[in-house]
Amino acid sequence: MPDSTIRDKRRSSVKRLLEVMAALRGPDGCPWDRAQTHHSLVPFLIEEAYELIDAIEAGQDDALREELGDVLLQVVFHARIAEERGAFSFADVATSLADKLVERHPHVFGGEPLAGAEAVREAWHVRKMQTRHSALDGVPDALPALQWAREISARAARAGFEWNQRGEILAKIAEELAEFRQAVAQRADGGAPEELETEFGDLLFALVQLARWQGIDAEGALRRATRKFIHRFRWMEDAIRARGLQHDRQTPSRWWALWAQAKANAK
């Protein structure tokens, strides 16, 4: 198929998508779609993003294609609402994105070539810092907490506020753990629950620093650990059902014995 035919087909696909969205939002469209706003769509955008992550981690191309479409729907939806307000259109979104990509990649579009991904990242950091008041500017507060902590600490580290060696982070974790244990004891004696939460947060933040130092994605690591827990817990449920027993009648010692078996089976 000639390149021009492929381009025309792709353009017609995008055009059809925009026309379908316009019809859904039109006077004779869907009442639910017509009622949506930028704010009402936020939960769906977050949900679709996480479903896309699931598809990526599952390595299933059919699911990946579908979830990418669902994320694109959110972009088209917001663009259509904005166009109805007279703010901007989907074409404006695409144009500004293309312009930004060209601006951010001068080594590709007419500038001096850069050797390797790290050099590109460093050049990008230098350009961005020229437009920021603080090294922490531009990190969205709405990020998942572990990712937010990592990005904030990474920005601070790039500015020079960084650990000198891993042992310092481990010592900090030990310090925060001791403070958390103290807060637990104080809470048992009638201490404020806010102090317990504060110390737990400090401990989590220190753990995220260790993960970043070691090149570990804390968010991804916790997701994988949670999936592992789900797999093992479901194995325990199956084991209980196979014996004709009920979950809510198992003793703690029995649960932990099953947990040890689940771990052994996984190995």
pLDDT, tens digit (0-9, with 9 covering 90-100), for 220-249 = 899 899 999 999 999 999 999 998 888 888
Per the confidence metrics, is the pTM higher than 0.95? no
Q: Given pLDDT bands bounded at 50, 70 and 90, which one contains residue 26?
A: very high
Q: Given pLDDT bands bounded at 50, 70 and 90, which one contains residue 130?
A: low
Each residue's pLDDT tens digit, 253-267: 999 999 999 999 877
Cα gap 122→124, rounded to integer Å: 5
Q: What is the pLDDT of residue 168?
A: 94
Main-chain phi, psi angles of 86, to 5 degrees:
80, 20
Residue bearing the bigger pLDDT, 9 or 63: 63
Q: Given pLDDT bands bounded at 50, 70 and 90, which one contains residue 95?
A: very high
Q: What is the pLDDT of residue 115?
A: 67
Q: What is the pLDDT of residue 104?
A: 77
DSSP letter for each residue of the chain: --HHHHHHHHHHHHHHHHHHHHHHHSTTS-HHHHH--TTTTHHHHHHHHHHHHHHHHHT-HHHHHHHHHHHHHHHHHHHHHHHHTTS--HHHHHHHHHHHHHHH-TTTTTS----SHHHHHHHHHHHHHTT-SSTTTT--TTS-HHHHHHHHHHHHHHTT---SSHHHHHHHHHHHHHHHHHHHHHHHTT--HHHHHHHHHHHHHHHHHHHHHTT--HHHHHHHHHHHHHHHHHHHHHHHHHTT--GGG--HHHHHHHHHHHHHHH-
What domains lie within the chain, and their CATH numbers?
3-88 (1.10.287.1080), 145-216 (1.10.287.1080), 221-266 (no CATH)
Q: What is the pLDDT of residue 179?
A: 94
Cα gap 108→91, rounded to integer Å: 24
Q: Given pLDDT bands bounded at 50, 70 and 90, which one contains residue 175?
A: very high
Cα gap 206→169, rounded to integer Å: 7
Q: Given pLDDT bands bounded at 50, 70 and 90, which one contains residue 109?
A: confident
Share the mean pLDDT of the chain.
87
Residue 3 has pLDDT above 60, yes or no: no
104 and 125 Cβ atoms separated by less than 8 Å: no
Each residue's pLDDT tens digit, 56-92: 988 999 999 999 999 999 999 999 999 999 999 999 9
Q: Which of 111-115, 130-134, 163-167, 189-193 has the highest mean pLDDT?
A: 163-167
Q: Evaluate the CA torsion angle 188, 192, 196, 202 in order and state its sign.
A: negative
Q: What is the pLDDT of residue 1?
A: 47
Main-chain phi, psi angles of 235, to 5 degrees:
-65, -40
